Structure 1
Amino acid sequence: MSKKLSEMSLEELWELFPIYLTEHQDCWSKWYEEEQNILKRILPTTKLGLQIYHIGSTAIHGIWAKPIVDILIEIPNAATLIIVKELMIKNGYICMSESDKRISLNKGYTEKGFAKRVFHIHLRLLNDKDEIYFRDYLNEHTEIAKAYENLKLNLWKKYEHDRDKYTAEKTEFVNKYTRLAKESL
């Protein structure tokens, strides 16, 4: 009998769910739209004042990415953040991390590895949406998007089983172009 995900060490999880990049897939935008519709059915988006966005590399045109669709849900206040988290957990999402202002949930992780479709849901308070600035900047500046793709491809095998280091190595690049995106507004 295999271990439950909640019983696995970080190293076991990284081994089961390695960094894997693939060429851009047109289906990612469709996956986002379908998941967005699911989220709108389970969350009273209008009543709660929620905004839902496709973020991450699958939302950047033409670059290699992990085949994981990142979704940001912008939430007006901390009380609503908790309500949304509870509704999502009731509907099969797994809470991965939580603070007073941010919650991350996943869908598509199983004891046998990735499901066909995998989603990372980022719950954020109003105006905590740097990923949208970054996404839009890279979609407008294809040469920067390609530089980001090259960075990720160079980090892929080196940190295939260490998501924290993979992410840390991209932070300076992401912060630089997020700042430039905000300055250009």
Structure 2
Amino acid sequence: MDEQQSWLAALHERVRLHSYDPSWAEVFLLERDRLLSLFPHRFLGIEHIGSTAVPGLSAKPVVDMLAGVESMAVAQALAEPLCRSGYTTSAELNATLSGP
């Protein structure tokens, strides 16, 4: 499955909630540390957000993160290296959408 097909499948995928899993906090910490290691001194902070960040709350098992940077120029400079490290940007998602 190519990237566009993957995005389209994700857009139409049935949402399934899972009981809270304490390992979600550890998954976040590991990924945050990986990003800080790959891109030292680029982020002002990286926070665990969304339903997986709330102890006891059922959630889709997707760990959401929010990373702060100093400026849009830094964010734009990080987009390509982040994609090479396994992330997909919303610009890529938006390019797969059609309609008015």
Return closer, same or farther for 1:83/1:9 CA change in 2, 3 Å cut-off. Answer: closer
Relative contact order, CA 8 A, sep 6+: which one is greater?
Answer: 2
The Cα of 1:93 is off from its aligned counterpart by 1.4
CA contact (8 A) 2:44 2:68 kept: yes
- % of aligned pairs identical? 28
Letter in 1 for 2:39: L
SS of 1:41's partner is helix
The Cα of 1:6 is off from its aligned counterpart by 1.3
The Cα of 1:9 is off from its aligned counterpart by 7.3
CA contact (8 A) 1:42 1:88 kept: no
Q: Could you list the runs of 5+ residues in structure 1 that have no partner in the other structure?
A: 105-185
Mapped to 1, the partners of 2:43 and 2:30 lie a distance apart of 20
**Map of 2:58 onto structure 1:** 64
Q: Could you list the runs of 5+ residues in structure 2 that have no partner in the other structure?
A: 94-100
TM-score, structure 2 normalization: 0.79
Match of 1:87 among 69, 81, 87: 81
Mapped to 1, the partners of 2:14 and 2:39 lie a distance apart of 31
Q: Deviations over 1:59-79 (max 9, x none)?
A: 111110110000000111110
The Cα of 1:5 is off from its aligned counterpart by 3.0
Mapped to 2, the partners of 1:51 and 1:19 lie a distance apart of 29
1:73 aligns with 2:67: yes
- The structure with more strand, counted as a fraction of residues: 1
Q: Deviations over 1:27-70 (max 9, x none)?
A: 000000110111111112x2x35210000001111110110000
Letter in 2 for 1:14: L
TM-score, structure 1 normalization: 0.45
Pairwise CA RMSD: 2.3
Q: Deviations over 1:104-137 (max 9, x none)?
A: 8xxxxxxxxxxxxxxxxxxxxxxxxxxxxxxxxx
CA contact (8 A) 2:22 2:55 kept: no
CA contact (8 A) 1:29 1:59 kept: yes
Match of 1:26 among 19, 22, 46: 22
Mapped to 2, the partners of 1:63 and 1:92 lie a distance apart of 27
